[in-house]
A and B are shown apart, each in its own frame.
Chain A
Amino acid sequence: MKLKHTMAEPAPLQMDQSTRTHGDVLLSAQDMVIEFNLRGRLLTAVRGASLELRAGETLAVVGESGSGKSVLAKSFLGMLDKNGRVRSGSALYRGLDLVGLKTEDDWLAIRGKKVAMIFQDPMTALNPLKTVGEQIREVASLHRGLGKSEARLLALDMLSRVGIPEPERRYSQYPHEFSGGMRQRVVIASAIACGPEILICDEPTTALDVTIQAQILELIKGLQRDLGMSVLFITHDLGVVAKMADRIAVMYAGQVVEEGLSSEVFYDARHPYTWTLLASLPQLGIKGDELFSIKGTPPSLFKTIKGDAFAPRNPFALKVDFEYEPPFFDVSPTHRAKTWLLDPRSPRIEVPETISRLRSRLTETRAEELAGKAADLAARTSRTKKGGGR
């Protein structure tokens, strides 16, 4: 049996309006187009993606492998590979367009100080031949102009902040003497030692085992709360997203296709691609549901894509999807999706059973957690506003 429902059905869980308009926009990326030159062929990895990151929030960027999440994030640090460039678009950080930064000196004002990034694999992110203490002290002196002994104290403080026991002893150890989880803590310590406003986490727990994963996620959450940072959290694990995110941006083939509060995306997703992502949540434990196991492969980024990039894999694709690229349609002031299905002229469609079932499940299990998160966010936001950043 499939539940009928109209597109205008209200979200099952209404969040408090005040949590929707949290802190000021810190980073606003508009229509970013990023391309790579691969032996003379142009690959457009990001095709007009837009997103906004607000003070004090965690924005999760989700999407399958190759959708351009890392590339987009790296462009905020001027860390694209040498064969890549931002072709057009803007990325305003407190009024400064990062796309306009060209030289290393320009970027030095941003990297670490304002925006820091944590990489996926903690085993390779540290210099194997320097003590972890040195590697943290180095950034502390660089960014805070501290002398050796002060920087050392700060590094020790960072080590204990990220939950490393016996920081004094650990300070003079080498990365190979740490386990994966502990190393990721060191990586985080050295990133926050810069004192950034924005912390980009690019799949920071993918390389770790499950129990450690949870600890690291808790750590990032705690640090964000204490330091009032904004976090851009990249992952393909929706379970992680549910734990971490205030808002979610879903990427497909180099574009953001749906964006909304965490609750809105989980309970009231409007883009068929988001549905396929949600349906793959292992937590749902639904077997034999063929409809939403995603079929086909993402489009080649070497060619110009006509119409909606997801159309060929979309069981709900309309004729118009193959001809014209859809614009964004607002679902709520904080929720929008880039699909023709939201156009008033489109036929009503049946939301797949999996998704409606998902809604009821999530409502049961998540309502409490999300309410807690809303309160949490409200508290955080008021703090960042008061503190005026850091």
Chain B
Amino acid sequence: MKTYILKRLGQSFLTVALVVMVVFLLLRLMPTSGYFERDDYINMDEAARTEYLRTLGVLDNPFVAFGKFVAGLSRGDLGRSISVYPRTQISEIIAQKAPYSLAFGLSAITISIVVGLWLGIAMANHKDKLIDGLGTGYIVIVRAIPSLIYLFLIQIWVSGLLGWPMIFYEDQPVSWILPVISIALSSVAWYAIWLRRFMVDEENKDYIKFAISKGMRRKYVMTRHVLRNAAVPIVQYLPAQILLTISGSLVVESIYSIPGLGGLLVYAIRQQDNPLVQVLVLLFSVLGVFGVFLGDVLMVLVDPRIKLAGTEKRKVQA
């Protein structure tokens, strides 16, 4: 187990390093005109432009620049934003925005697990009945219609109907509800459809039939055997999903004016705010890769069939 964890940690580290390096180099290939405001660019002469680019560090040898970036990181210095929040410490930007994305994301995950799994179980237990039909309808709508459309409809109609504020106000808790639900909608559908299929598939397996033929109640078999087994794949993906909530929901945060991290990366790339892009890419890839790593480790703990090199037990003979 220990060697496995060390090996996987090493792999994760390499992956992150590679991602960050590639993004760093790609950023240097962007046209330099993108670093200027339109008016500035027209008003500056060639020398002033070069001077400006030099202060940005864009003209440095990319490898030297990368070294500087890494050295800064090791000192805990994430650098300053250039164009999105001029001259603001990036660590400060993240510290301010991340809590919003995290809070909304985690609430939404909790809801989607609770509601999604409940819906999936109900649909599997009443296959081809009313609830299954309603659930399927919901899933199809959520997955087939572009989210922007129904999210807007919810924002406008539901808030109007209930008299709730249309956008997010930090001091009005009711205004938090619709964004959370909006983020959860599609993952509720995802969990429900997945669990329904899992349960229906498992129900036709021999071990379930055998269990029932031995006189166990269907309900007991469903909870103690099927649901328990469903935990394995869930446990594998959950850590990455939880950690990545920090990146925020682009659409929901923008329509409700939530000051989270959602969309910040896209915006920073468009503005060619290189330091900000670098840090965000680093952050998201570390969290993503670490989440996958955690998922794999948890999976080993819950699924006895997965044997690890190094912990391989003596193969048992007949």
Which A residues fall within an 8 A CB radius of B?
77, 79, 104, 107-108, 110-113, 116-117, 119, 121, 124-130, 138-139, 142-143, 173-174, 176-182, 187, 190-191, 194, 212
Contact = CB atoms under 8 A, between A and B. Distances in A.
A125 B207 contact: yes
Contacts of A212: 318
Contact of A119 (B209, B224, B229): B209
Interface stretch (B64-72, B173-181, B215-223): B215-223
B214 A190 contact: yes
A124 B211 CA distance: 12
Given A129-B228, A177-B316, A124 B215 contact: no
26 contacts: A79-B213, A107-B215, A108-B215, A110-B215, A111-B213, A111-B215, A112-B216, A113-B215, A116-B214, A117-B213, A119-B209, A119-B210, A125-B207, A126-B210, A127-B211, A128-B305, A129-B228, A129-B302, A129-B304, A173-B316, A176-B304, A176-B305, A178-B318, A179-B317, A187-B210, A190-B210
B111 interface: no
Nearest to B305: A176
B215 A112 contact: yes
Contact of B318 (A77, A128, A129, A179): A179
B232 interface: yes
Contact of A111 (B212, B316, B317): B212
Interface of B: 205-207, 209-218, 224-225, 228-229, 232, 302-305, 313, 316-318
A142 B210 contact: no
Given A174-B304, A178-B316, A121 B215 contact: no
Contacts of A107: 215
Task: Report, nearest first, the 5 A-B pairs whose CB atoms are least far apart.
Answer: A112-B215, A179-B318, A111-B215, A112-B214, A124-B206
Contacts of A121: 206
Contacts, number: 82
Candidate in B211, B213, B313 with the most chain A CB atoms within 10 angstroms: B213
Contacts of B232: 129
Contacts of B228: 129-130
A125 B217 contact: no
Nearest to B229: A129
A86 to B, nearest CB: 17
B212 A79 contact: yes
A304 to B, nearest CB: 30
Given A104-B217, A138-B216, A129 B303 contact: yes
Contact of B213 (A77, A129, A143): A77
B214 A139 contact: yes
B305 A127 contact: no
A174 B307 CA distance: 12
Contacts of A173: 316
Contacts of A104: 217-218
B214 A174 contact: no
Contacts of A124: 205-207
Contacts of B224: 138
B309 to A, nearest CB: 17
A212 B318 CA distance: 10
Contacts of B215: 107-108, 110-113, 139, 142-143, 194
Nearest to B302: A129
A182 B224 CA distance: 24
A203 to B, nearest CB: 13
Nearest to B204: A81
Given A126-B207, A138-B224, 17 more contacts: A79-B213, A107-B215, A112-B216, A113-B215, A116-B213, A117-B210, A117-B213, A124-B207, A127-B211, A127-B229, A130-B228, A177-B316, A178-B316, A178-B318, A179-B317, A181-B318, A212-B318
A177 to B, nearest CB: 5
Nearest to A110: B215
Given A121-B206, A124-B205, A212-B318, A130 B214 contact: no
Contacts of A191: 214
B56 to A, nearest CB: 56
A182 B316 CA distance: 10
A187 B213 CA distance: 12
B141 to A, nearest CB: 28
Nearest to B313: A177
Given A79-B209, A119-B206, A174-B305, A127 B214 contact: no
Nearest to B316: A177
A61 B282 CA distance: 67
A191 B217 CA distance: 16
A241 B18 CA distance: 65
Given A124-B206, A127-B225, A111 B214 contact: yes
A69 to B, nearest CB: 16
Contacts of A139: 214-216
A125 B205 CA distance: 8
Contact of B206 (A116, A125, A179): A125
B235 to A, nearest CB: 12
Nearest to A166: B316
A177 B228 CA distance: 20
A121 B210 CA distance: 11
Contacts of B212: 79, 111
A138 B224 CA distance: 10
Contacts of A130: 225, 228
Nearest to B218: A104
Nearest to A178: B316
Contacts of B214: 111-112, 116, 139, 142, 190-191, 194
A112 to B, nearest CB: 3
A275 B205 CA distance: 36
